[in-house]
Amino acid sequence: MKIAVFHNLPIGGAKRVLYEEVKFLAKKHEVTLFQMSGQERGLFDLEKFAKRTYWFNFKEENNLPFIFNRLYSDYRKMVSLRKVHKLMAQRINDSNFDVVLIHPDWHTQSPYILRYLKTQKIYYCHELLRISYEKELEFNQDVVFFKKLYENIIRKVYKHIDMTNAKSSDIILVNSLFTKQNVFKAYGKDSVVCYPGVNSDFFRPISNLTKKTVLFAGDEEQIFGEEFKKKVSDSLPKKNTIQNFIRNKNGKDKKLVELYNRALVTVCITRNEPFGMIPLESMSCGVPVIGLNEGGYKETVLNDKTGVLISKNINEIRNAIDYFMKTPYNSSRMGKFARDYVKSKFTWEKHMKVLEETIQQ
C-alpha cells in the first residue's frame, strides 16, 4: 500500500510511537512523509524509513514588539498554518495514496490537514488540546482584564479548531481507554485503543548498578509545591538522592536506560496523563513506579504489583517513597513482575497488529 504520514511533533513519547510505526510500516508498504520545517532530525529520525519526504515551511518568528507577539502567533496558527495544511492535503489527494496516517500538530493538537483530505484518514490521538478541555488547566492567573479575556476567548477558538479537525477523521486510534473516553466526550466519536509498546530488549535491567536514586518524572512542583522535592530529599537517607528525568534528545537513549536502572523507584505524577511512556520504560528496566491514581497510569501501573498508585496527597507519596527506600527487596520483587507484565501486554508487536488491521480496513 501507498501510505502518507503527517505529523508535527516535538521529541517525546508521541514521537517515539510515530517512529516505531513508520519503521514498521516501511517494511511492508511504501511510506511518504509530510513534515513541517523546523523538525529535529536527531533522535527519532523518520526519513531513513521513508521512500520520500516532503517539507513544508511554517515559521512563527517575527520582529514585532513584545505586546504584539502573541497576537501574531495566534494569527499564524489560525490562518497561515491552515493554508499550509490545505496545501499538503492537496498534494496527498493528487498522489493516489491508499491511506493517510495522521499524528498531531503541536500547534493545534488535531491538525487542519484532516479537514481537507479526501483519502482515507486515520488520526492517532495521543491527547486532546488539554488547556481547552481540562478544568485543572483553566487560565486563572492574576492579570489585567483584557489579557484574561483574550486568553479565555482564544482557548475557546482553539478548542473549536481541535474539535472540527478531529471530527473530520475517518478513524481515530487512541493510546488508552482514558483517552478513548475523552475522545468520545469531546468529539462524539468512537475510537480504537492502540496501546504504545516498549522495546524490552533495549529498556532492560542492567546488573551491578547501585540503586540509590528516586527518579522523578512529572509536574510535582505544580501538584505539591516548589519545596516538595527538597523536603522529600531531606527525608531520604544520605546515601539516596533525587534524580530528575531527562530524555537525551540527541543521543540513543543509552543514558536513559542507566538512569532508570540506578533508581529504586520512578515517580510519575503528571496530572491526567493520557498514557505515559515513562512508566513502561521504567518497568521494562525492572524498576517499579509510583503513579497518580488517575489517567493512563491506572492502565499501566498495577497497584502493589508493578508499583504503587497514590492520590494527590503529599503524605501518600512520601510514604510510598519511604516504603521502597526501607524495603529495597520489594523494589526488586515488583520490578521483576513489572518487566514480565510489560513484556506480555505492552509490546510494539501488539501495537502494530492493531495499526495494520486498521490500515487494511
Q: What is the mean pLDDT of the chain?
A: 88
Alpha helices in the chain (DSSP H): 13-28, 66-75, 81-93, 113-116, 130-133, 145-167, 177-187, 220-224, 228-235, 254-261, 277-284, 297-300, 314-326, 328-345, 348-359
Same structural domain for residues 9 and 35?
yes
The pLDDT assigned to 249 comes to: 46
The parent domain of residue 315 ranges over 213-345
Query: What is the band of 179 on the pLDDT scale with cuts at 50, 70, 90?
Result: very high
The pLDDT assigned to 226 comes to: 59
pLDDT of 209 higher than 90: no
Same structural domain for residues 270 and 133?
no
pLDDT tens per residue, range 312-335? 888 888 889 889 888 888 999 999
d(CA 151, CA 88): 30
Kindly state the average pLDDT of the residues 223-247: 61
Query: What are 261's three cell numbers?
Result: 536502572
* DSSP 3-state of 78: helix
Confidence (pTM) = 0.89
Same structural domain for residues 222 and 165?
no
Domain count, the chain: 2
Please give the C-alpha separations between residue 83 and each of 155, 213, 226, 328, 342, in angstroms, as whole numbers.
21, 49, 42, 56, 42
Place of cell 515517580: 267
pLDDT of 234 higher than 70: no
Same structural domain for residues 159 and 233?
no
Query: What is the band of 250 on the pLDDT scale with cuts at 50, 70, 90?
Result: very low
CATH number at residue 218: 3.40.50.2000
pLDDT of 303 higher than 80: yes
Same structural domain for residues 48 and 176?
yes
The pLDDT assigned to 182 comes to: 96
| DSSP one-letter code for 70 | H
pLDDT tens per residue, range 31-50? 999 998 866 666 788 999 99
Same structural domain for residues 227 and 324?
yes
